[in-house]
Amino acid sequence: MKRRDFLRYTAPASILPTFINGFSIKAFAASPFLAALEKTALDNDHVLVMIQLNGGNDGLNMVIPLDQYSKYETARRNIAIPEGRVLRLAGNTKTGIHPAMTGIKQMYDEGHVSIVQSVGYPSPNFSHFRATDIWLTGSDANQVLETGWGGRFLDTEYPGYPKDFPNAEMPDPPAIQIGSIVSPAFVGGGGNFGMAVTSPTDFYNLLDNIEENVPNTRAGKELKYIRQIQRQTNKYADVIKAAAAKVMSQGPYPDNSLAAQLKIVARLVAGGLKTRLYMVSIGGFDTHANQTNSGDTTTGEHARLLGNISSAVKAFMDDLTMQKKSQRVVGMTFSEFGRRIMSNGSMGTDHGNSAPMIIFGDYVNQQVLGNNPTMPDAAGPVDNVPMQYDFRSVYASLLEQWFCVPSQDLNRIMLNNYQSLPLINGLACSVVTGIPGVGDNETLISNYPNPFTAKTVLQYKTRGGHTLIQVFDTMGRLIAKPVDRQHAAGTYTHTLDAEHLPSGMYYVRFQNGAAQQVRTMMKVR
């Protein structure tokens, strides 16, 4: 019997001492505690807010490798953040963040931010359009999907949508995009689960019943008629207005476009809207030139963007805390790709592979997940940050640990079995999300000889279960997958035949459950 069925049918009918997760309780039919447990088993009111950083964010100037600072500075002499200006994170001596991100630092130090290092996917695509599509749909690099990862999740939550929706159980839009186009991330099997709030101005015009004037012409009258029909057919306008009307005041927000979008989200969440997924965005991250100011690299366009994100997110969570709704929300940032290790001659950075993601919220585990990216002694123009975590592992972990999606649904939503990362406190879904720690000195994978000429032996240590080894070149392309199978716990070896590969540096990535490690290998003539 499933836990939900036990709690619904068995426990309420009994009066007996029992134990749940090790705590002794007395189960009564009207027990609020029991009712809360039953609700957790059935559903929750959790919300995920996705912040899209359009253009390809430079992760190395956002999350800075202090333990390899000299190599970082050498690779980026014209844009490197001075070591003394980097914001240090509480309890972490190896990693810091950009000095413009004071709000995120405060949230991290208070225990509400997780930084996930080097997130990407094998064989990345550096086209803005295609890379964005990959991130929104959760596809492989060589795969085109008709549905988005969020839409597939909402398919499991609201089967049959849009038929018979809205209804008493779900009267609200399942997903909302602040922007003129609904994100492909929200497309499910039956269509798009999302609705677009075109802009903050249009949102407040909707609340105040303000309509832009139309010309007194035949075309103007037709436009007015179209708007009238649109309002009549918009099933969700009234529920959005009703939710917003419940919020009489909000906390202060900075004056930037992202903050204006998040202020709307906070108002709708605080107003009780049951919407599960929100998407907001901020552009300008395609920083090929003039990423920093020449006189002070802590200032410039990238600093302005990171400062806007930091201040907007901090104001958003402060507002939700004031509204007593912050525990409903987890947020994340993502960008279609990162930038290369070495800066270019225009005081900018070019399209690259992996970049960090920021996860935030009351239930988020405080951590820097993963190691700082491996920095070469002398970075070249094509050197990329090697991937440590697949972006779909982040999605899968949030679905599992925040939305409490069972494993059989999770694999169907994500179309594969992805690594579970300890992002959310186990209290969110009454599950354990911690993993055995991997010490800095514990080697999970190595190779010998290194450097090598034709072949090298990979030696790896697994705790048992699914074990994956991938080999990437410096552009992030997947070169080989020598191990991808179930293992008993132990130490194993595999001979990698690399005779066909050109000389140069390669990255070998080991993954076993939630543990992963990346090492460098060198092939020579």
pLDDT, position 43: 60
Give the domain ranges of the chain.
3-41, 43-428, 445-523
Residues 6+ apart with CB under 8 A from 395: 138, 149, 414, 418
**What global pTM score does this model have?**
0.82
Cis bond before residue 166 (omega within 30° of 0) = yes
Strands 194-197 and 175-178: parallel
Strands 351-352 and 175-178: unpaired
Is the pLDDT reported for residue 269 higher than 90?
A: yes
pLDDT greater at residue 381 or residue 19: 381
Is the pLDDT reported for residue 149 higher than 50?
A: yes
What string of DSSP letters covers 209-241?
A: T------SSHHHHHHHHHHHHHHHH-TTHHHHH
pLDDT, position 513: 85
Please state, in angstroms and rounded to a whole number, the distance separating the CA atoms of residues 405 and 390. 19
43-428 placed in CATH 3.40.720: yes
Rounded to 5 degrees, what are φ and ψ at 321?
-65, -45
Characterize 24-43 residue by residue with b for buried, 16 or more Cβ atoms within 10 angstroms of its Cβ, and e for exposed. ebebeeebeebeebbebbee
Is the pLDDT reported for residue 55 higher than 70?
A: yes
pLDDT greater at residue 57 or residue 195: 57
Residue 332: both structure tokens together: 């994340």
Please state, in angstroms and rounded to a whole number, the distance separating the CA atoms of residues 99 and 88. 9
Please state, in angstroms and rounded to a whole number, the distance separating the CA atoms of residues 83 and 69. 7
- Same CATH fold assignment for domains 43-428 and 445-523: no
Q: Which class is 445-523 in CATH?
A: mainly beta
Please state, in angstroms and rounded to a whole number, the distance separating the CA atoms of residues 250 and 490. 55
> Over the stretch 460-513, which tens digit does the pLDDT of each residue have?
999 999 999 999 998 888 999 999 999 999 999 999 999 999 998 899 999 998
pLDDT greater at residue 434 or residue 108: 108
Is the pLDDT reported for residue 66 higher than 90?
A: yes
Least confident range of 20-29, 72-81, 285-294:
20-29
pLDDT, position 437: 45
Taking CA atoms, 435 is separated from 39, 223, 404, 410, 513, in Å, by: 26, 58, 18, 19, 9
Considering 114-123, 164-173, 369-378, 474-483, the range whose residues carry the highest mean pLDDT is 114-123
Residues 6+ apart with CB under 8 A from 313: 51, 103, 104, 107, 262, 331, 360
- The pLDDT of 268-274, averaged and rounded, is 96
Please state, in angstroms and rounded to a whole number, the distance separating the CA atoms of residues 316 and 250. 10
pLDDT, position 223: 55
Give the model's confidence band at 143: pLDDT under 50 very low, under 70 low, under 90 confident, else very high.
very high
> Over the stretch 303-325, which tens digit does the pLDDT of each residue have?
999 999 999 999 999 999 999 99
> Over the stretch 185-238, which tens digit does the pLDDT of each residue have?
999 998 899 988 887 877 887 777 665 566 767 676 665 554 554 444 467 888
> Over the stretch 414-453, which tens digit does the pLDDT of each residue have?
999 999 999 998 888 864 444 444 445 688 999 999 989 9
Mean predicted lDDT score pLDDT of the chain? 86
Please state, in angstroms and rounded to a whole number, the distance separating the CA atoms of residues 494 and 482. 8
pLDDT, position 235: 73
- Strand residues in 307-347 grouped as ranges (E): 329-335, 338-339
